[in-house]
Structures are given as C-alpha cells and as structure tokens.
Structure 1
Amino acid sequence: MKPHILIIDDDIDFINDFSLVLDEEYKCSFALNGHDAISLIQDSVPDVILLDLMLGNEDNGLELLNKLQKVEDVPVIMVTDYASVQTAVEALKLGASDYISKTTNLTELKILIEKTINQKILKNHALSLEEQLNKDYKTIIGESEAIKDVYYKIKLYANTDSTILITGESGVGKELVARQVHFFSNRKMFPFVAINCAAIPRELLESELFGHEKGAFTGADKRKIGKFELASSGTIFLDEISELDPNAQVKLLRVIQEKEFERIGGNNTIKSNVRIIAATNKNLFHLVKENKFREDLFYRLDVLPINVPPLRARKGDIPILVNHFIAKACEEMKISLKSISDNAMDILINYDWPGNIRELQNFITRAVILSEGNKITINDLDMNLNSTDKDLFDFDIEKIPSTWEEMDQLRKEVADQASRKVERLYLQRLLDRFEGNITKAAEHAGINRTNLHKMIRKCGL
C-alpha cells in the first residue's frame, strides 16, 4: 500500500504540480482549507501532511498546525512562498517536523517525505520499545557490584551527547546497555537505530550507514536513506564497530567531528544530529597498534567507556537472571509459572556460560519447554551442562530405553545433541583462531559471512 500524503493548500496549481510528482509513489489527497483537512484526517489518517503556512482564506497555517496535532499525531511539513527563519522556528516549536519553500527542488521534497515517513515508523517503534522497556527492563538485571557499576554509568552518561564505547564478550548484553542509555536520555522519543557492522557485507556497509543516490553504483536503482539519517535526533548503535573498513572509518570520523556526511554518489552535505554508541567484543586499542583500526577514531569513540562483565564474573546474578528468564518464557508461552530445583540451579551457577546472557536465556527457554512438571529439575537440563567436559552426556539411569523404538529415538536425540556440541566447539575454536574476526573466519571455513554470523548467534557465542 502506498503511503498517504495530504496536501493542504488553496493554490490549485501547486496541488496539481506536487500531485503529479508524488502520485507515482504516494497516494495523494488534498484540502483547500482547514475544515476540509480535518474532515479528511478523521476519515483517513495520512502518513505525512504538507501544509501551506499562508493559506489565502480565514485559516492561518500555524493555527491550523496546532489544530491538526490535536486531531491526530501526524508529521507535518510546512510549505510556503514566504520563507523566513522566524516562521520556520515558530513552526518547529509548534511541532512541525520540517519546513520547506515552494521553490524547493521537487526531488528534494520527495527525499524529505521519504525521510519523514521513515522517522515516523522508527518513532512508533521507539514508543513500542519504551513500553517494552517499562515492562521488562526498567533496570539492568542483577545485584552484583559489577553490574551496579554498569547501571551507574548508564544513568550518568545518558543525558550527555558524547560518544560511548561499550566493550564486552559476545552475548553479555551490549545492545541492551545501549538501549538503556537511549531510554534514559532526552533523545528517547526519537529513533534508536541499531546496525551490526559484522552482519552486513563490507561493500554494502557504507551504503547502509550513510545511504546512496540512484545510480551511485551497480544495483543502486533508487535512492536509499541511510541509518544516520533515519536516526536523526535519536541514537545510532554501531555493534561490532571493529568490522568497519577504512573508508567507512574515515566517514564515521567525519560525522563525529564535523556532524555531517554525504550519501554515496551525492553532492549534498547532510547535517547529522545523532548520539553515537559503539560496541565491540575486540580490544580496539590492540587493533590500533596493529594498524587495523584508526587511532583518531578510537579516541573519538572511547570518550565514555562502559565494560559489560561476562556472566562468569557475576555468578551471584545467575539465580536472579534464571528466575527472570523462566518467568519471561512462561509468560510468552502462556503457561503457569514454573520454578527450578536447588540442584538444577547449582549446576547453572557453576557453569561458566561462554555465550553469556544470550546463552543462558536460550538455555532456560529450552528447559521450560522440555520440563513436564511445574518445576525444572536436573533431568530437564541440557545434558551438555549436566556433565563435565570429559563426557558429552551423562544419562539418568531411568532414561535408559526399554524398547528398540525408544532406543532408536534416543539415538537420534544423542546424535543431534552431539552434533550441536561439536558444531559449537568448532565455531568457538574458529573464532578464537581469528580473534573473533567474522570475515576472516568465514573465508577460512568457506562459509557465507551472513550464514556464519547466524550460526554463531544460534550457538549462543
């Protein structure tokens, strides 16, 4: 379905000109006055409104802007022949999303509309995220001193605009920390845009971040708005920042220093107003010494550091996390709340959790599904944890099959679990060999980079 644009203007020629340009990509409707506009909005809420500041009747554009926002929360772009800084500021203060002149290039108008619609989508997502954060993640979960320090820094750093560098192993919750910073900041009602720099092919990453113009390269059949534009006034989270290639590093450095950039293939300089939070599971300082990461960019990113400790360094938080994930899984599955036996909890506390929070959550979800009663016991735990490293499996004697059919089923289950464990060990050693470099690991293994990233996440690494 095409996005819906409502044009409010008493100039029929202007309406016809704009409709002609926009009709191909948008559904256009129009109103000649405020009364008709409000009636149209009550019948069908548009995605964007183009409002003439100086309507040639009893309506005043600024007054109508105020009325429209009481009817529906729709982004409004003010349009006029009489552009001035004063009226622009006044319109923006009243809630207009942007401001253009009727002499604006129509191509630029289309870019502005596209950007406004994308920001509306992200704003709705941000509101949904806020509700979810209020429901599930009012605080980072845990009571250990290590995690209290993380939470203290989140609150301390939230209302500054300085860049933050979050470090920690895979699975510790670096993105959750970034979202918490955004949630507690004065930017929380604007978009939070996350991008995993390792999950996108290097030749496409710069386009994802900064966008491109039509025809900028082979396959660029239309203009693309980049993540930095979509995150305008909000926060952009750059996960696995170490995977940025040299060109993207230079461009990111310019955004941080000059707060501006150009789309690939474009000549127009775009001003940037975003809070940048980066994250990595690598030691960027070591990469700088190896000439694999720009030193100036490293120091620009590492203004406010937050290190998220691995789960093995805060074992006292494991019972709290386990009970939280059990409750969460039961709620999502719409089943009665389950508990966990002391013996089962002891096993979870004593395990090192190399995949950290992500591995623990996946494990608990699996245990909730597999447990038959209202209490999760040792027998419900993944056998990989209910054993030592020297043994793959350690079966309860009561689980030894009594029929060949049961034996056949058990053999399949054992083979599947053994395969998963071997796959996990293989991936762990592969990542260790290449120091977590997804690109080099994928090339060595002969695996597509994106597929390897999915396998790593699936195994909780």
Structure 2
Amino acid sequence: MYKVLIIDDEISVCKLLSAYLEKKGFDTEATISGKQGLQRIRKQHFDVVLCDYRLGDFDGSTIYPEIKKISPDVVVIFITGYVNLQVAIDLVKKGVYQYLEKPLRPDELLDTINLALSSKAKGRDYPDNDQPVSREPDLIMGEDETSKELMKSLSLVGPTDYSVVIEGETGTGKESIAKLLHQNSKRSKGPFIPIDCGSLSREIGASELFGHEKGAFTGAISDKTGAFELAEGGTIFLDEIANLSPDIQVMLLRAIQERKVRKLGSVRLKEIDVRIIVATNENLIDKVKEGLFREDLYYRINEFNLKVPPLRQRPGDLALLVSQFMEKTGSELDKSFSGIDEEVNCLFKNYNWPGNIRELKNTLRRACLLTEDGGSISSAALPAALQIFDQDILSDSKPPIGLQGEEQLPTLDLKAQAHLAEAKHIRKVLFDVGFNKTKAAELLNIDRKTLYQKLKRFEEKA
C-alpha cells in the first residue's frame, strides 16, 4: 500500500483528501504545517507528498529542497489556489512532479498520483516510448476503430519532436490529445504551456507569445516573459490557431524558422527549444485558400496531422465513455449508480452530440447530481435539450396524430402537415448546432427574429 503525506494548513482539505485517497486504497497521513510535515518525513517513508504551496511557515520554493534532502526519491505534488505560471514552471524544472490548482478535481489528482507512482516503480521520469500511450483523464479511447487509429497515430508521433496540427470539432478533446503527446515524449519533464489564440487580441498577442520589456508600450510597467520562453524544454500548445491575426502569424513563422524569439521593446534574440502543437476546429487549408491563414506558416506547423473524430463517429466508445464519466462523477459525489435507463440509453445512441465528449461529460455530471445514491439515471435528470430530443424520438415511434386504423387517413390537413414538418426540421437544426440560435438561423436562411417568432408559435400550438 502506497503511503501519502498531505501537508495543508486547512484542516478541512486534509480531511477530504485523506478520506478520498484512503477510499482509493492509499495509506495517508496529514499535517497542517511544513515543520510537522518535515518531521514526519524524517521518521518514516512516504511515496508521495501532497503539499499546499503556501503554508504558514513555508512556501513551495523553500520546503521542496528540504523534502528532497530528507527523502530524495519521494514524489512531490504541489496544490494551490494561487496559480503563478512562472513559479509552477520553475518548480517543475527543479523536479517537482506536478502543480495542481484548487479546487482539485479528484479524478485528475488520482490520475496524477498513479502516473507518478507508475513512472517511479519503473525507474524512469517519463513513459517508455515503446509502452502503450498513457491516458489523459478527459480523453477516453475505447474499441471503436476510429479511436484505435487515433491511438496508433499518437503512439507513433508522441515520442518525436514533430510539430503537430490537431483538427477536431469543439469538445472532442484536442487539448487532452496535446497533453498526451507531451506526456509521452522526452519533453515530459518540461513545461506544457497552453495558449488560447482565440483570446489573443492583436494588441496583446505578441506580448503573450513572445514577452515584452518594461516601457515597450503604454501600460508595460514591468518585464514580461512570453509563452515561448516559459515553454523552454517542453511543449507550447496553441489552441484555435486560426484566430491569430496576420501580423502575429508573421512573427510566429519567424520564431519557428529561426528558433529564436525577440521580446517587444528588445533588440536581443533569445534561442528557444520548444515543441509546437496547435489545434483548430476549422479547416486550415480552407483558411489558406481564403487568404486568412499564411500558407508558409501552415506547412511549417503541419509536420504531422491528427484528426480527432467527433463523438457521433465513435458509436463503439459511447458505452465506455458513459461508464467512465459516471464512475468518476460518482467518486466526486461519493455516490454509486446502477446504470442508465433503457430510454436514456436509446436517447444517447440517437442524439447527435454537437458538443461531443464535453457535452456528454457535463450531461452525466448533471444527471448524477440529480440522481439518488444507488439509483439509475433517468431522462428526468437530463438537460432540457435532451428531454425535448427524447420526446421527438418517442413521437417518431408513434402513429401520426388522428390515424385510428390502417384504412383511415390522418386528420391533419396539408397546411398542418407542413407546419409539423417545419417545426421538426427547425428542432433538428437547433440540436445539430447545440441550440445556438444565431447559427441555426443562418443555416435555415432566416433572421433571428423570424426564428424566435416561429419557436414561439410552435410553443403556443404544442
């Protein structure tokens, strides 16, 4: 049985973590000060130390070397509610296994501890390249052929330093794929720095990516280290890269070509050693053809391409995903469930899942919260969008309104039939776009006002 020492100045956190980890088979001890924690480590062996970064008598940078001096082989994982990216990167470079943000996600904590212990038991700091790909908590691949092909590609490109373009719809787990690539590479001990390009305006984009010096522009009151420098020795992940402005694309291309970056306001170039992984939910080739994305940049970053299938193309994985998400949520809520009702099973198989894995996960988290301990997930615990979809499935399986027998025709006249068909089509489009009414109106070739009027009329006649 692995022994875990928890050091946190909040007694409630110590109790919660102890109870959760003991339930998962760990032997735990807890203390509320760094001094007491160091005394425990001197007296007995621990496999893992979970330590709050800000204690009353120590902080992470001062207690970590003391822990390693006493027990060089112990795995140290810091937890904190005050995330400082530069501090996190410095600690990881010094040997801290991981740095987790409060509030903790139990499944993420458990997976982090298990992965650390697995690597330690095999005498290595990162997974062997010839071993199966280690799994990201939010990325579950099963027996579906599309999943198997993706995992084969991950196993192939993960150990390399290739730049990778990950393509997939929103919610398919592109960032989890990027983390997997990082975890299964020789850079796994280095930092993984994710950047949401969709949130980078033209004004701050260059500063976020490459940094700036004090006085470089109005408001630059101090030096700033950019994401590329922060990712030194590790991986930088550029999510939604298609959103980068043209001038930032030029700067990014130059940085990739020269493997050097220049801070805003500086004349000095700094060499960088990073792996670049990007993701997009748009077709970059189409963006190139439209003149919205540089062709030379595309071919620089696209040394290997991974296409993440949407959930609707992974029917063989649905049951596994449902089971895994229910188990994880049950652990968080300290509940157990007998499964899902047959009606819900039918609904899940027929639903289009426009939000993909993220939508399924959120749906099950909500349903588990609303379901009693030991119960089965019913349609009543599902979000309104799925309940409406469920009603549509049931109505499709019934005979038309007014049809009393094989010889009798429906009583609905042509106008009523047209109204019914229109309502059904609009509902289907809404489901397909995740109830985004602006997008639905665009696909239906009507304005939003007209769509709202039609929806209101459908409700009145329902």
| Structure 2 counterpart of 1:132 | 111
User: In the TM superposition, what are the counterparts of 1:107-122 in structure 2 within 5 Å?
Assistant: 117=87, 119-121=89-91
Instruction: Name the structure 1 match of 2:376.
Output: 375
Distance 1:390 1:261, change over 3 A: same
- Shift in Å at residue 251 of structure 1? 1.5
Give 1:401's aligned residue: none
Determine the C-alpha separation between the residues in 2 that align with 1:208 and 1:343: 48
Check conservation: 1:322, 1:364, Cα contact below 8 A.
yes
Q: Deviations over 1:138-182 (max 9, x none)?
A: 774322111111111111111111100000111100000000111
* 2:61 matched residue in structure 1: 47
CA distance in 1, matches of 2:355, 2:271: 39
Distance in 2 of aligned mates of 1:246 and 1:271 = 23
- Deviation of residue 393 (structure 1)? 11
In structure 2, give the amino acid aligned to 1:132.
D
Equivalent residues in 2 for 1:50-65, closer than 5 Å: none
* 1:408 equivalent in structure 2: none
In 1: Cα distance, 2:201 partner to 2:360 partner = 29
Q: Give runs of aligned pairs for residues 56-455 of structure 1, distance below 5 A.
A: 70=69, 117=87, 119-121=89-91, 124=96, 126=98, 132=111, 134=114, 137=136, 140-372=140-372, 374-388=375-389, 424-429=435-440
Distance 1:264 1:130, change over 3 A: farther
Whole-Å separation in 1 of the counterparts to 2:356 and 2:89: 33
Answer with 139-148 or 250-259: which moved more. 139-148
Q: Residue deviations 1:180-222, cap 9 Å, x none?
A: 1111111111111101100233321211111111111111111
Q: Does the CA contact (< 8 Å) of 1:386 and 1:393 recur in 2? A: no
The 1:224–1:372 alpha-carbon spacing in structure 2 relative to 1, beyond 3 Å, is same
Pick closer, same or farther for the CA change 1:355–1:431 going to 2, 3 Å: farther
Question: In structure 2, how many angstroms separate the alpha carbons of the residues matched to 1:203 and 1:343?
Answer: 51
Q: Aligned to 1:276, what secondary structure does the other structure show? A: strand
| Residues 127/116 of structure 1: CA separation in 2 closer, same or farther (3 Å cut) | closer
Amino acid at match of 1:269: L
- Distance, in Å, in 1 between the alignment partners of 2:193 and 2:92 is 8
Deviation, 1:388, is 3.6
Question: What is the one-letter code of the residue matched to 1:184?
Answer: N
Alpha-carbon distance in structure 2 between the residues aligned to 1:137 and 1:115:
21
Residue type matched to 1:211 in 2? G
- State whether residues 136 and 179 of structure 2, in contact with CA within 8 Å, keep that contact through their aligned partners in structure 1: no
In structure 1, C-alpha distance between the alignment counterparts of 2:350 and 2:220, rounded to whole Å: 52
Q: 1:130 and 1:391 mapped to 2: Cα distance?
A: 40
Matched residue count: 312
User: What is the alpha-carbon distance in structure 1 between the residues aligned to residue 280 and residue 86 of structure 2?
Assistant: 31
How much has 1:391 moved relative to structure 2? 6.0
Separation of aligned partners in 2, 1:48 and 1:259: 34
C-alpha contact (below 8 Å) 1:211/1:227 kept by paired residues: yes
- Counterparts in 2 of 1:393 and 1:194: CA distance versus 1, 3 Å: farther
Alpha-carbon distance, 1:345 to partner: 1.4
Q: Is the 8 A contact 2:61 2:91 kept in 1?
A: no
Q: The residue matched to 1:265 in structure 2 has which SS?
A: coil
The Cα of 1:126 is off from its aligned counterpart by 4.1
| Partner deviation per Cα, 1:261-294 (whole Å, 9 max, x = no partner) | 1011111211111110000011100111111110
Distance 1:141 1:71 in 2: 40
In 2, distance between residues paired with 1:371 and 1:256?
51
Note if contact 1:209-1:226 (Cα within 8 Å) is conserved in structure 2.
yes
- Structure 1 residue runs without a partner (length 5+): 1-42, 50-64, 74-113, 395-419, 434-443, 445-461
Shift of residue 248, structure 1, vs aligned partner:
1.3
SS in 1 for 2:305: strand
Query: Structure 1 pair 210/132, CA: closer, same or farther in 2 (3 Å)?
Result: farther
Contact 1:48–1:117 (Cα < 8 Å) also in 2: no
**Conserved? CA contact 1:387–1:393, under 8 Å:** no
Alpha-carbon contact 1:140-1:151 (below 8 Å) kept: no
After alignment, is 247-256 or 169-178 more displaced? Answer: 247-256
Deviation for aligned residue 1:385: 1.6
**Cα RMSD (Å):** 3.5
The alpha carbon displacement at 1:118 in A equals 5.2
Structure 2 gap ranges (5+): 1-56, 73-83, 101-107, 116-134, 396-429, 449-462
- TM-score, structure 1 length as denominator? 0.60
Confirm or deny: 8 A CA contact 1:115 1:225 kept in the other structure: no
Partner AA of 2:61 in structure 1: D
- Equivalent residues of 1:126, 1:191 under 8 A apart: no
What one-letter code is carried by the residue in structure 1 that aligns with 2:436? L
Paired residue secondary structure (1:424): coil
Amino acid at match of 1:217: F
Deviation for aligned residue 1:331:
1.1
User: In 2, Cα distance between the equivalents of 1:214 and 1:430?
Assistant: 47
- Secondary structure, aligned partner of 1:292: coil
* TM-fit CA distance, 1:256: 1.6
Distance 2:242 2:343 in 1: 41
